[in-house]
Amino acid sequence: MPVLGHTQYGKAEVRVVRVYRDREPHEIADHNVSVALSGDFTDTHLTGDNTRVLTTDAVKNTVNAFAKEAGDAARTPEVFGLELARHFTGVPQVSRVRVGIETYPWRRLEHAGTPHPHAFARDGGHVRTTTVTRTTGGDEWVTSGVTGLVVLKTTDSEFHSFYTDRYTTLAETTDRVMATEVTAQWWHAEPPGDWNASYPQVIDTMTSAFAGHHSLALQQTLYEMGTQVLTAEPGIGEIRFSLPNKHHFLLDLSPFGLKNPGEVFHADDRPYGLIEGTVRRDDTTDPGPAFDPGQGW
Amino acid sequence: MPVLGHTQYGKAEVRVVRVYRDREPHEIADHNVSVALSGDFTDTHLTGDNTRVLTTDAVKNTVNAFAKEAGDAARTPEVFGLELARHFTGVPQVSRVRVGIETYPWRRLEHAGTPHPHAFARDGGHVRTTTVTRTTGGDEWVTSGVTGLVVLKTTDSEFHSFYTDRYTTLAETTDRVMATEVTAQWWHAEPPGDWNASYPQVIDTMTSAFAGHHSLALQQTLYEMGTQVLTAEPGIGEIRFSLPNKHHFLLDLSPFGLKNPGEVFHADDRPYGLIEGTVRRDDTTDPGPAFDPGQGW
Amino acid sequence: MPVLGHTQYGKAEVRVVRVYRDREPHEIADHNVSVALSGDFTDTHLTGDNTRVLTTDAVKNTVNAFAKEAGDAARTPEVFGLELARHFTGVPQVSRVRVGIETYPWRRLEHAGTPHPHAFARDGGHVRTTTVTRTTGGDEWVTSGVTGLVVLKTTDSEFHSFYTDRYTTLAETTDRVMATEVTAQWWHAEPPGDWNASYPQVIDTMTSAFAGHHSLALQQTLYEMGTQVLTAEPGIGEIRFSLPNKHHFLLDLSPFGLKNPGEVFHADDRPYGLIEGTVRRDDTTDPGPAFDPGQGW
Amino acid sequence: MPVLGHTQYGKAEVRVVRVYRDREPHEIADHNVSVALSGDFTDTHLTGDNTRVLTTDAVKNTVNAFAKEAGDAARTPEVFGLELARHFTGVPQVSRVRVGIETYPWRRLEHAGTPHPHAFARDGGHVRTTTVTRTTGGDEWVTSGVTGLVVLKTTDSEFHSFYTDRYTTLAETTDRVMATEVTAQWWHAEPPGDWNASYPQVIDTMTSAFAGHHSLALQQTLYEMGTQVLTAEPGIGEIRFSLPNKHHFLLDLSPFGLKNPGEVFHADDRPYGLIEGTVRRDDTTDPGPAFDPGQGW
């Protein structure tokens, strides 16, 4: 007989922009907030009885209202997410809340040679991500992350001595272009003192590791980046990476009488290698649902 | 101390098109194949020793070669995926394989009033999805699915009598437009006799349920769709849905002296409600890793 | 000295959905409407004096209100566009209006084996486009068009005997897969009797021509498609095509001991050939601004 | 009778990456190049006779080969485009060439506190664009441009005293958030001394104008930005802007007992105002085909 399994629901992609204009210069926080609620919502599925359903419209209203009520806390996505999660676990029929936030960076524009107090440009390089998971028992898990961080090195990357089978035709190389678009997410076993300081420190550690590492495989680079982040940030218990290998293929220019000693490449779209991996601290507790999006697929 | 956790890697988005031209009319199979391998790949992460690494280039070659070698099997994504998965679990250091396939539907074009044997148009309505997960022990899990299936009903949808809190301002309604873009995935506890017949049957059952159901909540519609699919297809053990509520807001035309009795709507982009849920058979075994993408986030 | 040149402004992408529920079965019209106004708007640019500026918010309101006021006319994008254009050229300071509409097709869902009167699925194959340009003198130009129409033929396509230079390495072929994603726009020198009948007839003529034509170059196919449309539809004065050559590269499977006689292809994303061309009637007047988006780049 | 009108063809989106590794630190140029050729190509359309058709594959090869042959010139998209255009107008049957280039900016990564000689991150803020148009007569037109430059000001923007009609409901405001995503293209009546210095100067002038201007309408801001660019760069003859008004709607938080004095906004996706305009120098010659994409729609 068909029965109801796991469910969750909420409002996705609430695009709330908070302006701080009670100070000079003005500041801005630009978030895309998604909230997923789990709990005792069987009735609405089985009979359409919505008595226990907090509307997704109210979820949206709450996000917007908290952008005001939270005051300065709305500048820090991890804290903003925690305040929202604590609110929603107070709804009686909710047992678990997951708040996901994408935060878009802005930089201050210059005018007449000095930073302007009211004007900004979107800094498109990458997006900061946050997830907060909270259960009614009061347990909380916070991850921070990044997406869209494209990095490339022009040398210091080899790939050879690999396993071969009858479908292997790849040539070995001791010098290639390596590029990837980093998606990463790290779980704070202990919260840092300052969330807004921690995030750029992790990005700096990660990109510095990418830059300085002589790579024999993208997998090795991944592990190096993870290891350096965990070493630099003792509160981080685990970090997960998804690294597409953005292939740059050396072009054969010999038909045109040209040599190409690692100078001209075709940046291909698809297919791409996809390298995923986790680096964790061996003395940390289990991350529980920190990385669990809830629906499981 | 940092240690390596779960890893997987492979080639993503191999865009292989198989033409069957040894028959009249010609046929076409259009797949986007991604393969993820897990197993004994610690060395490449820790030391850059690639001795055990099957290159992602070889993974791509294998997908392309199998599109030829598999013959007619490449027309059926579930079977194509199984053949690939069985091959890759034969690579010694691999313990688990996950093959994901997106299959793009094409319809035959007409010429001079009759179906043309060699010409096709992409049927953009929705994309058929398949995942095959296989472990070296020989256990196999197959899911089929759909993404991009946009459906809408102009009436027969109510939403009222819901829970209210201080952030609730939504008006109740007994007649609204309901629309969603169905992403669904169902696990075959038992394989159907004919995969290529099973898929359109599930889609028909799902859309017929959506059409015929008088809805009190999108959650109730989700459960109805899932229940009808499980009832019609006894081999399906579990189905999971992700249903964005694509809001159509009734426009207030009264400032222009116009009534709007459910006729003119604004189709909004963001935010959207996101309703997710599972319907499973109560006498089926656990789906195991059938829905597990591997990296867990 | 800097001076103001051509300007235009308006509201873009008004997503209005019109439901016809005063009949059984219900019908639906789903439009994405953009309006651009040109005229005497110098003051707002030079001094910020908005006295003559009809707000883009009012433009949006007008589109929405007309979806009600136009009644059945809103089902036909060309007529809906004409009504909007005639309204906006009545705004005193406007000298030229351009209305662009994307119309999304829906098909009726089945329930219990019969078409359901209230339920639909988006028919994602392609999007119908319309532009109406009107000047205050009362001149009107209407184009219809299509975008996203992906077609492919598995044979009946050759490409050889081409010009060669020192950068030419392409092999000649007498049998290849040819695929393109048709964007086309045709100008009605005379309006057809029934716009909603004309559109599918043009699509059928175009795809039938694509299917039946033995192609020596995508350029030749383009000309054949245009010629057949103009021949079948005497009111159409000119048709313009933009045809990306979606390359399907025959894969070399010989390293794996496999022959590949036109069976397995890689569908590449970029780069792509881009073939653009116009077919017009030699006895038709100039299309004037029919194809002119206004800003000129 | 149907006849052939204007045509053009070429290869679009050649993704060529040039690495300069003969110096320390390494440098990188990352281009997306599209080439469109017009000329005597009637035969291929009418009869499939390709005798005069330079293949689009050869066009791609030429772009790639020139990335090597052009040496340092490939670092400057305007110069790279000019070299390509001069080459292609040397093909006998070509009468006009248009080269379009998107150039992706990269910034150097740091490692151990110093800039790393071989590692980069994509600087996603905006994309530099270039077009070069050349005819066989030797006339050349070069435009530079930008796309994806998102800017926002938190105050110093008013919008009121506008024209009203029966569809106008917008409230007047003396303080709003103004945001836009700048697409601009400027024609060099005279080439600057240093293309790679000119581009950031124009961006700086444009964003400084946006920041410092007290705006009564986005149209006025557009004109101010254009005027300041033309004033600062005497070689630029004309600049064209396309400025979507990315609406930030002040949220009504009063149902929740909250005031919202310009602090919390909803960033809406669609519809959006679209403001387009040209600022030109009154003593400059006509830009000719500088802004003309060729196919005219």
Query: DSSP labels for D88-140?
Result: HTTSTTEEEEEEEEEE--EEEEEETTEEEEEEEEE-TT-EEEEEEEEETTS-E
CB neighbour burial string for D253-286, b if at least 16 within 10 angstroms, e if fewer: beebebebebbbbbbeebbbbbbbbbbbbeeeee
Q: Which of B87, B153, B213, B247 is catalytic?
A: B247
Angle at C73 between CA C71 and CA C77, to 5 degrees: 135
Report the residue of chain A nearest C170, measured CA to CA: A255
* CA separation for the pair D64, D121 (Å, rounded): 23
Q: What is the pLDDT, as a whole number, of residue C124?
A: 81
Q: Check CB contact of A284 with chain B, cutoff 8 Å.
A: no
Angle of helix A77-88 versus helix A195-212 axis, rounded to 10: 130
Q: In this predicted model, what pLDDT tens digit does every residue of A171-204 receive, in sequence order?
A: 999 999 999 999 999 999 999 999 999 999 999 9
DSSP state of C215: B
Q: Are strands C106-111 and A127-135 parallel, antiparallel or unpaired?
A: unpaired
Whether the predicted pLDDT of B297 surpasses 80: no
| φ, ψ of residue B78 in degrees (nearest 5) | -65, -40
Tell me the nearest-neighbour CA distance from D167 into chain A, angstroms: 28
Inspect the interface and report whether the beta carbons of C58 and D169 lie closer than 8 Å: yes
Contact list, C15 vs chain B (CB under 8 Å): 266-269
Whether the predicted pLDDT of B7 surpasses 80: yes
Q: In this predicted model, what pLDDT tens digit does every residue of C19-78 receive, in sequence order?
A: 999 989 999 999 999 999 999 999 999 999 999 999 999 999 999 999 999 999 999 999
Q: What is the pLDDT, as a whole number, of residue D124?
A: 81
Q: Are D213 and D156 in contact (CB under 8 A)?
A: yes
Q: Are D195 and D144 in contact (CB under 8 A)?
A: yes
Residues of chain C with pLDDT below 70 are: none
Whether the predicted pLDDT of A291 surpasses 90: yes
Percent of chain B with pLDDT over 70: 100
Q: In this predicted model, what pLDDT tens digit does every residue of D234-264 receive, in sequence order?
A: 999 999 999 999 999 999 999 999 999 999 9
* CA separation for the pair C59, C54 (Å, rounded): 7
Contact list, D46 vs chain C (CB under 8 Å): 220, 223
Q: In this predicted model, what pLDDT tens digit does every residue of D282-295 receive, in sequence order?
A: 998 899 999 999 88
In DSSP notation, A122-162 reads E-TT-EEEEEEEEETTS-EEEEEEEEEEEEEESSSB-B-S-
Whether the predicted pLDDT of D232 surpasses 90: yes
**For residue C170, with 0-12 CB atoms within 10 Å meaning exposed, 13-18 middle and 19 or more buried, which class applies?**
middle
The alpha carbon dihedral of B223, B224, B230, B231 has a sign of: positive
Q: In this predicted model, what pLDDT tens digit does every residue of D195-223 receive, in sequence order?
A: 999 999 999 999 999 999 999 999 999 99
Q: What is the pLDDT, as a whole number, of residue B294?
A: 87
Domains B7-138 and B140-297 share a fold: yes
Q: Are A59 and A10 in contact (CB under 8 A)?
A: yes
* CA separation for the pair A242, A218 (Å, rounded): 11
Inspect the interface and report whether the beta carbons of D166 and B269 lie closer than 8 Å: no
Contacts of A32 (CB under 8 A, 6+ apart): A13, A14, A15, A101, A102, A103, A104
* CA separation for the pair C84, C132 (Å, rounded): 9
* CA separation for the pair D209, D221 (Å, rounded): 8
Q: Are B232 and B205 in contact (CB under 8 A)?
A: yes
Q: In this predicted model, what pLDDT tens digit does every residue of B231-280 receive, in sequence order?
A: 999 999 999 999 999 999 999 999 999 999 999 999 999 999 999 999 99
Contact list, C167 vs chain A (CB under 8 Å): 256
Please give the class, per CATH, of domain B7-138: alpha beta
Helix (H) or strand (E) holding D245: strand D236-245
Closest CA to B258 of C74, C90, A215: C74
Pick the CATH number of A143-297 from 1.10.1060.10, 3.10.270.10, 3.30.1330.40, 2.120.10.30: 3.10.270.10
* CA separation for the pair D146, D128 (Å, rounded): 5
More confident of the two residues B23 and D154: D154
- Tell me the three state secondary structure of residue C207: helix
Return the CATH superfamily for domain A1-138.
Urate Oxidase; (3.10.270.10)
Whether the predicted pLDDT of A70 surpasses 90: yes
Q: Are D3 and C280 in contact (CB under 8 A)?
A: yes
Q: What is the pLDDT, as a whole number, of residue A125?
A: 82
Contact list, A166 vs chain C (CB under 8 Å): 256
Inspect the interface and report whether the beta carbons of B267 and C15 lie closer than 8 Å: yes
Angle of helix B195-212 versus helix B77-88 axis, rounded to 10: 130
* CA separation for the pair C149, C128 (Å, rounded): 10
Rounded to an integer, the average pLDDT of D90-97 is: 97
B-C interface: how many C-beta pairs under 8 angstroms? 208
Q: Are C262 and B19 in contact (CB under 8 A)?
A: yes
Q: What is the mean pLDDT of chain A?
A: 97
* CA separation for the pair B79, B93 (Å, rounded): 24
Inspect the interface and report whether the beta carbons of D44 and C282 lie closer than 8 Å: no
DSSP state of B216: S
* CA separation for the pair D289, D100 (Å, rounded): 13
- Residue ranges per structural domain of chain A: 1-138, 143-297
Contact list, D259 vs chain A (CB under 8 Å): 68
Token pair for D104: 């992706």
Q: In this predicted model, what pLDDT tens digit does every residue of B251-265 receive, in sequence order?
A: 999 999 999 999 999
Closest CA to A215 of A154, A157, A160, A176: A157
Contacts of D22 (CB under 8 A, 6+ apart): none
Q: Check CB contact of D167 with chain B, cutoff 8 Å.
A: yes
Q: In this predicted model, what pLDDT tens digit does every residue of A118-172 receive, in sequence order?
A: 999 999 889 999 999 999 999 999 999 999 999 999 999 999 999 999 999 999 9
* CA separation for the pair C265, B68 (Å, rounded): 10
Contact list, B168 vs chain A (CB under 8 Å): 54-55, 57-58, 61
Interface residue of A161, A238, A276 to substitute, partner B, most B CBs within 10 Å: A276
Closest CA to A248 of A126, A150, A152, A147: A152
Nearest to C272 among D12, D93, D273 (CB): D12
CATH architecture of the domain formed by D145-297: Roll (3.10)
Contact list, A210 vs chain D (CB under 8 Å): 109, 119
Helix (H) or strand (E) holding D69: helix D56-69
Q: Are strands C178-188 and C236-245 parallel, antiparallel or unpaired?
A: antiparallel
Report the residue of chain A nearest D14, measured CA to CA: A266
What is the maximal distance between C-alpha atoms in chain A? Answer: 76
Nearest to B273 among A2, A11, A52 (CB): A11
* CA separation for the pair B247, B268 (Å, rounded): 6
- C262 dihedral zone (left: phi>0; alpha: psi -120 to 50; beta): left
Q: Are B226 and B279 in contact (CB under 8 A)?
A: yes
C-D interface: how many C-beta pairs under 8 angstroms? 285
Cross-strand bridge partners of residue C106: C122
Pick the CATH number of C147-297 from 3.60.20.10, 2.60.40.10, 2.70.70.10, 3.10.270.10: 3.10.270.10
Angle at B253 between CA B250 and CA B256, to 5 degrees: 170
Active site residue B56: yes
Q: In this predicted model, what pLDDT tens digit does every residue of B46-88 receive, in sequence order?
A: 999 999 999 999 999 999 999 999 999 999 999 999 999 999 9
Q: What is the pLDDT, as a whole number, of residue D294?
A: 87
- Reported as a pLDDT band with limits 50, 70 and 90, residue A93 is very high
* Cis, peptide link before residue A261, omega less than 30° from 0: no
Q: Which of B42, B44, B56, B278 is catalytic?
A: B56
Q: Which of D42, D56, D147, D284 is catalytic?
A: D56
Tell me the nearest-neighbour CA distance from B169 into chain D, angstroms: 8
* CA separation for the pair C96, C90 (Å, rounded): 10
Closest CA to C102 of C194, C16, C203: C16
Angle of helix A56-69 versus helix A77-88 axis, rounded to 10: 130
Whether the predicted pLDDT of A286 surpasses 90: yes
The alpha carbon dihedral of A259, A262, A268, A271 has a sign of: positive
Q: What is the pLDDT, as a whole number, of residue A82?
A: 98
Interface residue of A19, A203, A252, A254 to substitute, partner D, most D CBs within 10 Å: A19
In terms of DSSP H, where are the helices of chain B? 42-46, 56-69, 77-88, 195-212, 218-232
- Tell me the three state secondary structure of residue B265: strand
- CB-side neighbour CA atoms (13 Å) of C262: 18
Please give the class, per CATH, of domain B140-297: alpha beta
Q: What is the pLDDT, as a whole number, of residue B47?
A: 98
Q: What is the mean pLDDT of chain B?
A: 97
For tokens 């933009």, what's the residue? Answer: C242
**For residue A51, with 0-12 CB atoms within 10 Å meaning exposed, 13-18 middle and 19 or more buried, which class applies?**
exposed
Closest CA to D44 of D93, D112, D110: D93
Q: In this predicted model, what pLDDT tens digit does every residue of D98-130 receive, in sequence order?
A: 999 999 999 999 999 999 999 999 998 899 999
Q: Are A154 and A96 in contact (CB under 8 A)?
A: no
The chains found to touch D (3+ Cβ pairs under 8 angstroms) are: A, B, C
DSSP state of A199: H
- Reported as a pLDDT band with limits 50, 70 and 90, residue B6 is very high
Q: What is the pLDDT, as a whole number, of residue D54?
A: 98
* CA separation for the pair A243, A254 (Å, rounded): 32
* CA separation for the pair C222, A231 (Å, rounded): 61
